[in-house]
Structure 1
Amino acid sequence: MSRKEWLKDPLLERLYAAVRGAGPIRSISVDLTNVCNLRCDGCYYFSEGMDTHRTSDAATLETFVASERERGTNFVTIVGGEPSLLLDRLQTFYNAFRLSVATNGLIKIPRDGFEDLPIGVAVWGDHATDRDLRGGGQRDVFTAALRNYRDDPRAFFYYTVAPGHADEVESVVDQCVANGNRVLFNFYGDLEDRGGDLSYEQGFGAVRDAINRVIEQHPESILMTTGLTKAITTGQLFGETWGHATCTSISSDHPSNSERIDNGKPYNKHFRAYNADLATTRRCCTAVDRDCASCFDTWGHFSWVMLNMKSHLTSERDFIEWLATTYLFYFINRLVDVDEGARLLPEIHRRTPGLVGAN
């Protein structure tokens, strides 16, 4: 059978039409500021020294926005430092692009002026774990984030799970869902080499099992498939192994990527990861020179799956996984009808019972 035949399926036709209707994404990543009000243990931003690039002035910001619009950029992932500290700069981007923002949740991004902004609110475990990793052992950041984004339709929790903390997944997800929020998972890379139950070298098998359980319990609230989860945590997709040679979210203008670009594997030709000075870029969205073996970044792996569409055309099962993952990225970022996406989410999970292309 062919893609044309597969799209006779009403669900697949609807997902495909929604993505096609929204159009292609020409994206960049931007550090809004080099300042943060937390020092999370294992945050790539400070571990990689990205804060050494000073936040640009207002004139540079205006010039940058105009330049990126002229270049054809239509979607921006806003990261930090902490974007909620500079709402005026965030407003400038919101007025110019479709975008998504990542925040630690301590300061609420107001609805007024940011009515349709997708907000990924960080949580790194249950209250004790999150306090240890993000709150310096003292601050209950998770509770503050729950309070700030209760029943906020813009917000989802971006839950970074460590390998040895799978037993916390159901409780954390239950709290987020009860708070009126959906959940997208991310995976801890242990950039400070604390080891033990934080070490990615022990694998994420128990975490995958826990995620599969919460998908069954809350199919209306989990924003990734079991297939994407396995691709991220095993680093395998159709015989390809995750790493710099295969990552698709590389800065197309950065000299460290010249060999990567020449190897013929798919990558986002438009993408650039800009530092807070808005003048320089780095190797990729989450790294300056870190070992890619420690990268389990869900945002980057979304791109890996999406840009490898051709590999997913060998079977209907594979195509469904690609289409579901692509649609969910559009849904998370409010690029398709969010009410329809909410209705379709349980059926998407029912139709994607496992990873295609990974062993």
Structure 2
Amino acid sequence: MPADPADKSGAAARTARLERKQWLAQRLETLLEGDPALENRFKAVRAFGSGVRISEYHLTNACNIRCDGCWFFAFGHDKASTEAKSLAAWEDFIEAQRKKRVNAALLIGGEPTLFLDRIEAFVKRMRYVTISTNGYKALPNDERFRDVGMLVSVFGGGPLDDELRAIKPGGRRFTGLFDQALRNYRYDPRPTFVFAVTERSVPYVRETVRRIHENGNRVTINFYSEYNTSHPLRAANQRRLLDEVMEVKQRYQDTILSHPEHIAGVLTGKAWCGEFSGQTCPSVSSDHAANSERVRNGNAVLPFFNTYKPDLETLEVCCTSGHCDGCRDSQAVYSWQVVSLEKSLQSKENLQTWIEVAESYWSQFIWTPFHWSKKDGARLQRPTQAAAAGAPRHSAVAA
């Protein structure tokens, strides 16, 4: 493989980039030779992905619950900046982002659904919009938000979800948060449930996925990083948890969108393309001074990516907490795998894995041509009147 242009400057860097591009094209031609179906899949997913330029925005410091272990509140992000209140300020900010060639927005919080007008401002000005939500308050399924992607949190599964998430801002506990999210988005193609499993989740993985399946939705696997412990990523029963999730993936292949390599990456930090860490995670703010060394270390980053606090000025270090040793965020792991094309060219098998992982990543978002509902023969079966009244329900299936 040619030298990394990150190690060079000026004319030498330009020459290195050209040599790298030529090597990449030749290697891809060799690996895809004689397999037009795989070549077409590669071209389709690469062409779409290269046109998405995303940044992340903290839409608000406010939230209607206080999940145990939520990095946003655990590390005081809600107190680290003020919040722009004027809708006009948000609109001007979004226009400025567009001029920077950003065309995709991931809206997090706090809780984005508390400010529908701000979400709508992004929808009117950005080509692709996704929100990360706790699921407690529904995003209306009307013309304003019909093409908005959604990542809906679930922690632990079973009774653990209420234990970890069903907490009001004042500390009062309640029950039925997951039930509420299921009611909000039953047979709605927009949401992907993001199921953050922990070593305590083993007895609840199958039942949680089954309920999502019967609700007509899809799910991807995340890891619950216990930031309030000294070893947030040390799971004593990691092997048992991984085996259980993989077994449930086999049972609900169409419902769990995560590719097996993504599941392995989230739960172990390792995949076919290497090891996930702060030095390889691509979801870092490219304009943040603290990331200058990371941007130049030769590992891929997301072009144009930045994470903004709700004051519309201050940059976060990365897409989540900024505490890399305690993070294995599912979307960051997915991004790491998707930008690892060059590390996937050792063999045709690795390239096919990259293609499958990239397809599964984009299948989460309703605004992509790879969304699960747009597969040939896919259909969303809605409940009959009898089912809505409590009779056995149909589920969303891919024919």
User: Normalised by the size of structure 2, how large is the TM-score?
Assistant: 0.80
Partner of 2:38: 12
- What is the CA deviation profile of residues 231-253 of structure 1, one whole-angstrom value per residue up to 9, with x for unaligned ones? 22222346743222221111011
Alpha-carbon distance in 2 for matches of 1:68, 1:60: 12
1:86 counterpart (106, 110, 115):
115
- Aligned residue type for 1:253: D
Q: 2:101 maps to what in 1?
A: 72
Which structure 1 segments of 5+ residues have no match?
A: 346-359
- In structure 1, the residue matched to 2:125 is 96
Over the aligned positions, Cα root-mean-square deviation in angstroms equals: 2.3
SS of residue in 1 equivalent to 2:358 = helix
Classify 1:67/1:165 alpha carbon distance in 2 versus 1 (closer, same or farther; 3 Å).
same
Are the equivalent residues in 1 in contact too, given 2:155–2:161 (CA < 8 A)? yes
Q: How much does 1:17 deviate?
A: 3.6
1:117: how far off? 1.2
| CA offset digits 1:128-183 (Å, max 9, x no partner) | 11110001342321010011100001112111111231221100000000000011
Q: Within 1, Cα distance between the matches of 2:284 and 2:157? A: 32
Q: What is the deviation of 1:204?
A: 2.8
What's the CA shift string for 1:227-277, capped at 9, x where partnerless?
111122222346743222221111011111112122222112311011111
- Structure with bigger gyration radius: 2
1:181 alignment counterpart: 217
> Does the 8 Å contact 2:272/2:350 carry over to 1?
no
CA deviation map 1:285-323 (0-9, x unaligned): 1123x2x22211011111111111101011111111111
Distance 1:12 1:221, change over 3 A: farther
For structure 2, the 5+ residue unaligned runs are 1-25, 168-172, 379-399
Aligned residues: 341
Equivalent residue, structure 1, for 2:138:
108
Return the alpha-carbon distance in structure 2 between the equivalents of residues 15 and 176 of structure 1: 28
Cα 1:160–1:340 change in 2 (3 A) is closer
Deviation of 1:21 (Å): 4.4
Q: Is the 8 A contact 2:199 2:238 kept in 1?
A: yes
- Runs of 4+ with >6 A deviation: none
What is the CA distance between 1:9 and its match in structure 2?
3.7
- State the Cα distance separating 1:22 from its structure 2 match: 2.5
Query: Structure 2: how far apart are the matches of 1:208 and 1:222?
Result: 14
In structure 2, how many angstroms separate the alpha carbons of the residues matched to 1:344 and 1:193?
46
2:60 aligned with 1:33:
yes
> Which one of the candidate residues 306, 312, 321 is aligned to 1:278?
312
| 1:162-181 mapped onto 2 (5 Å cutoff) | 162-181=198-217
Whether contact under 8 Å (2:150, 2:192) holds in the other structure is yes
Residue of structure 2 equivalent to 1:307: 339
What corresponds to 1:3 in structure 2?
A: 28
Q: Aligned partners of 2:35 and 2:211: how far apart in 1?
A: 35
Cα deviation, residue 73, structure 1: 0.4
Aligned to 1:130: 161
Provide the rounded CA distance (Å) in 1 between the counterparts of 2:154 and 2:35.
37
Select between 53-62 and 170-179 the one with higher mean Cα deviation: 53-62
Aligned to 1:200, which of 208, 226, 234? 234
Equivalent position of 1:255 in the other structure: 289
Q: Give the structure 2 partner of residue 336 of structure 1.
A: 369
Q: Give 1:110 deviation, angstroms.
A: 0.6
Q: Which amino acid aligns with 2:349?
A: R
Aligned to 1:322: 354
Greater RCO structure (CA 8 Å; 6+ sep): 1
Go from structure 1 to structure 2 and tell me whether the alpha carbon gap of 1:273 and 1:343 turns closer, same or farther (over 3 Å shift). Answer: same
